[in-house]
Amino acid sequence: MTTIYLIRHGQAEGNLYRRCHSWHNGLLTLKGREQVKALEKRFEGTHFDAVYSSDLYRAMATAGAIYRPRGLTLRVDPNLREIGAGVWEDVPWGQLLHDHRESLTAFLTCNPSWEVEGGETFSRVRQRVQEAILRIADAHQGQTVAVVSHGCAIRMALSSWLGLELEEVHQLHLSNNTGVARLEIENGQVKVAYYNDDSHLVDPTLPKASIVYGILGIEKNALRFRPLLLPQEKEQYLSARQDGWQASHGTMDGFDGEKFLSVAQANSAYDKNCVLLALLGDTPVGVLQMDWLQDADQQAGRVPFFFMMPEFRSKGLGVQLLGHAVCTYRAMGRQTLRLRCAPENERAKQFYISHGFHKVGEEPGGIGHLDTMEKYIGLEL
């Protein structure tokens, strides 16, 4: 008998930033790396003969908890990938909800009819992942193997082994990040001893829900973005700038709205997607401004303005603006994300630090100087 521990990757950027990351690559979050440490501790007394993962970064990084301590070689199999989402890749869930509500509902409820351009069907991913797992079991008869894959891929693979038809898959809990299923395989027959065991986590990433996020959860929390039209919407931009200045410095001394507006218009003229309005449904919640030219020679992406409207602060939404900047600049080949923070703005500073930023210098600005904060966004194991 072959024993396979089938494991979902740790929390990744797509989970945190609320974006459709199926085949799209992204890093583990700080929380995800802590989950991987807990996974390593869980299995520290378990013997493994081999470790496999999908070829996506978040799975390979998670697999490091098992293959590295044992000096094993990671075996990478693209057939263990998440379901392919085609033209939906790296699109914010809020945008998909706004543009494709019916299709997104079908996806979240695992409707077998779901299909998008360039993507896979649920039946295809189930067949692909099951066949990969059975091939691994056949190659390691009588041994113990770790296999790291993805939420939907694991759910689909387990479904028929648990006696569920495609139309019934929505009844099966989505595995939490680093959740473990134990499979016992002999003569091509698969017994699921247990699944979605995340007992090694003090703080599980998700409740044991039957739907991926739940359409209601996405509706309440997922943002979308559109270009902020300048100069037509300059009053909205200036109002955000004024509020941001006051919140950062506690005074309006030194505020130069025309200078800020001039820079924003120059960014917007270069590309309309440099200055964006973040929306929850149709309600504006923040502004994200990017400068695609500044610091480009240093392989850094610059964010001159990051703003959440007061009534939407401390609600867990700001990280999606950060995520949009990360994904935008990574697609351009940038290695770091850079922004400035008033040293007296403790609230903003703690937010940035909690999401992987650290101080790398100081720049003139504000009412004295501003701290230059930087975050690594490259993809390296």
Type of residue found at 316:
G
Which residues face 189 on adjacent strands?
A: 186
User: The pTM is what?
Assistant: 0.92
Whether the upstream peptide bond of residue 227 has omega within 30° of 0, thus cis, is no
Tell me, what's the pLDDT at 211? 42
For the chain, percent of residues with pLDDT exceeding 70: 96
pLDDT band for position 204 (cuts 50, 70, 90): low
Q: Which two tokens stand for residue 242?
A: 């004024």
Tens-digit pLDDT profile for residues 242-265: 999 998 888 999 899 999 999 999
With CA atoms as reference, report the closest residue to 8 among 174, 181, 179, 164.
Answer: 179
Burial class (CB in 10 A: 0-12, 13-18, 19+), 147: buried
How far is 63 from 39, CA to CA, in rounded Å? 9
pLDDT band for position 13 (cuts 50, 70, 90): very high
For the chain, percent of residues with pLDDT exceeding 90: 88
Annotate the chain with three-state secondary structure: CEEEEEEECCCEHHHHHCECCCCCCCCECHHHHHHHHHHHHHCCCCCCCEEEECCCHHHHHHHHHHHHHHCCCEEECHHHCCCCEHHHCCCEHHHHHHHCHHHHHHHHCCCCCCCCCCECCHHHHHHHHHHHHHHHHHHCCCCEEEEEECHHHHHHHHHHHCCCCHHHHHHCCCCCCCCEEEEEEECCEEEEEEEEECCCCCCCCCCCCCCCCCHHHHHHHCCEEEECCCCCCHHHHHHHHHHHHHHHHCCCCCCCHHHHHHHHHHHHHHCHHHEEEEEECCEEEEEEEEECCCCHHHCEEEEEEEEECHHHCCCCCHHHHHHHHHHHHHHCCCCEEEEEECCCCHHHHHHHHHCCCEEEEEEEECCEEEEEEEEECCCCC
Tell whether the model's pLDDT for residue 177 goes beyond 70: yes
Tell me, what's the pLDDT at 212? 45
pLDDT band for position 196 (cuts 50, 70, 90): very high
Tell me, what's the pLDDT at 218? 74
pLDDT band for position 205 (cuts 50, 70, 90): low
Q: Cα 194 to chain center, whole Å?
A: 27
Tell me, what's the pLDDT at 203? 64
